[in-house]
């Protein structure tokens, strides 16, 4: 596939719409505007910071279009008395639908080995870094599709570690398979992990893509997971031995009473998806509806300039 040519107009925000039209007139197939705001992400807490310039970007699919496009744009900018400046670059074409896979390598977390479904060999994979063989791990083959959850994010990693620590002993020592509910199942990675540890798993998600991804991934892993498409927890009156919720802090706080209702007395609740600054707020909301904290675990995420994301997870027990 031939490279594309990127035409980029750098302009004051008030010129962005005019510049976008100029790029279209010059033959660009599709235009995007990176306008006057940048999102500074502090885990869940985001701040919008103004920028003095906008970037208006278009693409040419044929290099022979470059010279006439440059001429047309420079003349239009001069005639319109615009202050935008034109920059050009060459962009390699790629299959965007699959290129993201490069950032999803096999991953060893707790007792699990998460392996992308497109990996040819599972048995020889060793990503533990400590010499452990993949043969000793519980292998989960995963294709997240459009759903969240590959094991790469700290919130998912925390859940997998805590499932290994808290669910595995109960499942191995109990005559009856413990019942587990995964609220907001995403790709199904946590549901599959729980099923492979010996739990009887029910999963729920509002998003149809997540429900389908969980169903498909569970089938591929020969894991028995019942999947329900639903928001919140009003759809069930069952109480579970384990409840797992990897959700944003605000949603965990809102769902706190419902999470208590679906967790049996002495049952275990594992919650994650919590940015560290909101950890105490989430913990207080859950304690207020009858949970006692067994453990809090924190894990660093991405570095963003001078700021490092930090995520928290809790293991809690429902009081009698």
Find the range with the poorest average confidence among 46-55, 201-210, 211-220, 304-313.
46-55
Cβ within 8 Å of residue 121, ≥6 positions away: none
| Residue percentage of the chain with pLDDT more than 90 | 53
125 pLDDT band, cuts 50/70/90, is very low
Q: Where are the domains of the chain?
A: 4-92, 103-318
**Is it the case that residue 34 has pLDDT exceeding 60?**
yes
What are the respective helix, strand and coil percentages of the chain, to the nearest 5?
Answer: 35, 35, 30
How much is the average pLDDT of 261-266?
98
How much is the average pLDDT of 252-281?
96
**Is it the case that residue 100 has pLDDT exceeding 60?**
no
Task: Please spell the DSSP secondary structure of 260-297, one letter per residue.
Answer: HHHEEEEEEEEEEEEEGGGHHHHHHHHHTTTEEEEEEE
Res 118: pLDDT: 66
Class of domain 4-92: alpha beta
How much is the average pLDDT of 77-82?
91
How much is the average pLDDT of 205-230?
93
Is the domain spanning 103-318 CATH 3.40.50.150? The answer is: yes
209 pLDDT band, cuts 50/70/90, is confident
**Is it the case that residue 178 has pLDDT exceeding 90?**
yes
**Is it the case that residue 214 has pLDDT exceeding 80?**
yes
Q: Which two tokens stand for residue 37?
A: 């705001």
| pLDDT tens-digit map of 126-158 | 444 333 434 447 988 887 555 456 677 899 999
Mean of per-residue pLDDT scores for the chain = 84
Where are the extended beta strands (E) located within the chain? 4-11, 31-34, 37-42, 45-50, 54-60, 85-91, 107-109, 112-116, 138-142, 179-183, 200-205, 225-229, 240-246, 263-275, 291-304, 307-318
Q: Tell which residue, 245, 264, 243, 175, has the closest CA to residue 205.
A: 245
**Is it the case that residue 37 has pLDDT exceeding 90?**
no
33 pLDDT band, cuts 50/70/90, is confident
Res 68: pLDDT: 92
Does the fold of domain 103-318 match that of domain 4-92? no
Which tops the pLDDT comparison, 306 or 149?
A: 306
Res 165: pLDDT: 94
Res 14: pLDDT: 85
Is pTM, for the whole model, over 0.75? no
5 pLDDT band, cuts 50/70/90, is confident
Backbone dihedral region for residue 150 (phi beyond 0: left; psi -120 to 50: alpha; all else: beta): alpha
Res 172: pLDDT: 86
25 by DSSP, 3-state: which? helix
**Is it the case that residue 195 has pLDDT exceeding 80?**
yes
**Is it the case that residue 185 has pLDDT exceeding 80?**
yes
Res 32: pLDDT: 83
Pairing of strands 37-42, 45-50: antiparallel
Res 304: pLDDT: 67
**Is it the case that residue 43 has pLDDT exceeding 80?**
no
């Amino acid at each position: 596939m031939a490279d594309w040519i990127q035409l980029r107009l750098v302009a004051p925000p008030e010129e962005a719409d005019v510049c976008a039209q100029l790029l279209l007139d010059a033959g660009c197939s599709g235009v995007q505007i990176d306008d006057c705001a940048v999102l500074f992400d502090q885990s869940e807490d985001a701040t919008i910071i103004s920028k003095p310039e906008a970037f208006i970007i278009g693409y040419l699919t044929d290099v022979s279009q470059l010279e006439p496009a440059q001429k047309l744009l420079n003349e239009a900018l001069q005639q319109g008395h615009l202050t935008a400046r034109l920059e050009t670059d060459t962009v390699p074409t790629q299959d965007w639908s699959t290129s993201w896979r490069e950032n999803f390598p096999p991953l060893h977390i707790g007792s699990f080995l998460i392996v992308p479904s497109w990996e040819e060999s599972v048995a020889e994979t060793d990503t533990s870094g400590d010499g452990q063989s993949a043969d000793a791990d519980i292998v989960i083959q995963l294709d997240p599709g459009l759903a969240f959850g590959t094991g790469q994010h700290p919130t998912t990693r925390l859940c997998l570690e805590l499932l290994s620590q808290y669910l595995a002993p109960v499942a191995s020592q109990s005559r009856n398979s413990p019942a587990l509910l995964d609220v907001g199942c995403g790709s199904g990675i946590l549901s599959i992990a729980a099923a492979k540890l010996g739990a009887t798993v029910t999963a729920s998600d509002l998003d149809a893509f997540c429900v389908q991804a969980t169903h498909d991934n569970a089938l591929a892993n020969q894991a028995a997971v019942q999947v329900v498409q639903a928001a919140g927890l009003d759809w069930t009156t069952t109480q579970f031995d384990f409840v797992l919720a990897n959700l944003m802090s605000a949603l965990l706080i809102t769902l706190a009473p419902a999470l208590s209702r679906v967790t049996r007395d002495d049952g275990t609740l594992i919650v994650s998806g919590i940015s560290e600054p909101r950890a105490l707020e989430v913990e207080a909301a859950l304690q207020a509806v009858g949970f006692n904290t067994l453990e809090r675990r924190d894990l660093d995420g991405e570095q963003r300039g001078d700021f490092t994301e930090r995520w928290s997870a809790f293991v809690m027990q429902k009081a009698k």
